[in-house]
Structures are given as C-alpha cells and as structure tokens.
Amino acid sequence: MTEVESTGGRHDRRLHRREWLMIYLPLILGGAAAAALVAAIAVPGLTPSRLGRDPASVWSDAAAVLVAIEVGLLGLILLVALVASSALAFWLYREARPVLKRGQDLTATVNQRVDGAAQSLVDSFIRAHWLDSRVRGVLKFRWRRDV
C-alpha cells in the first residue's frame, strides 16, 4: 500500500483528528479572531451615540474599518493562493514521481554497469601484474641456475 491509500479503522480516525487539529482548527480560530478584531474596531466607532458628535473620530473609525476589511481580503486572497500553490506542488510531485523513479532506476543501472566495467579493468590489471610477476619469477630462477 502506498502512503495515499486508506488503511481503514483507527488509523484513519487518528489521521482525521490530527488533520482537524493541525489545519482546520487554527484556520477557524484565526478567522474568528480576525472577525472579532474587525468588530472590536467597528462597533464602538459606529454607535448611534457617537455618530452625531465628533465627525473626525467617526471618519477615522470608518477608515480603520475599511483598512481592516482590505487587509482581511488581502489575507484571504493570499491564503487561497497559498492553498492553490500547495495543491499544485502536491499534484506536480504525484505526477513527477514515475518519471523520477525511472530516472533513479536508470541511474542505478548506469552505476552497476560502470562498477562492472571498473572491476573488469581492475581485474585485467591484476591478471597482467600476476602474469608479469610469474614471468619475472621464472626468469629470475632461470638466471640463478645459469650462474
């Protein structure tokens, strides 16, 4: 079985719980915190009792709310871009895995052949050295007898 295939049972529940705790819960809590922050900025400035008083304060509170909305939307756009890029990276990895496996197999085959050729070359030098040493030994022995 590969990593992606389901194994079933207790393992899937643990994986689902871990996925919930690591991905969705922080996303929900962050969204709720951002909404609470925008509400905390907007509500006190736009109450009916303050709308008739200091216009500069009302306009500054309204501008703060608009800036918070823009920042929130920009954050949402960036979050969508991040999720899309991670999904694209996962898809590319999944699609490239067979190609990478073929390249790894080809590299292993080339490595084995190069090792075999190197070993053959070394063996030929060892045989030549062995033969040379035998011939020298015979010649030395022959020259000693002649003396």
In this predicted model, which residue has the larger pLDDT, 95 or 16? 95
Residue-level pLDDT at 2: 46
Residue 145 has pLDDT above 60, yes or no: no
Instruction: Enter the DSSP assignment of 1.
Output: -
38: its two tokens:
């925008």
Which domain does 125 fall in, by range? 10-146
Instruction: Say if 70 falls within a structural domain.
Output: yes
Instruction: Say if 113 falls within a structural domain.
Output: yes
Q: Furthest-apart CA pair in the chain: how many Å?
A: 131
Contacts of 58 (CB under 8 A, 6+ apart): 45, 46, 50, 51
pLDDT band, residue 106 (cuts 50/70/90): very high
Query: What is the four-CA torsion angle of 63, 64, 66, 70, rounded to 10 degrees?
Result: 130
Residue 62 has pLDDT above 70, yes or no: yes
Total number of domains in the chain = 1
Instruction: Say if 20 falls within a structural domain.
Output: yes
Instruction: Say if 82 falls within a structural domain.
Output: yes
| Rounded-to-integer distance, Cα 78 and Cα 81, Å | 5
Instruction: Say if 5 falls within a structural domain.
Output: no
Average pLDDT, integer, range 95-118: 93
pLDDT band, residue 1 (cuts 50/70/90): very low
* pLDDT one-digit tens code per residue, 120-143: 888 888 777 777 777 777 777 666
In this predicted model, which residue has the larger pLDDT, 119 or 35? 119
Instruction: Say if 66 falls within a structural domain.
Output: yes
Residue 81 has pLDDT above 90, yes or no: yes
Instruction: Say if 2 falls within a structural domain.
Output: no
Q: What is the DSSP string of 122-134?
A: HHHHHHHHHHHHH
Query: Residue 9: left if φ>0, alpha if ψ -120 to 50, beta else—which one?
Result: left
**Lowest mean pLDDT segment, chosen from 35-44, 49-58, 99-108:** 49-58
Instruction: Say if 4 falls within a structural domain.
Output: no
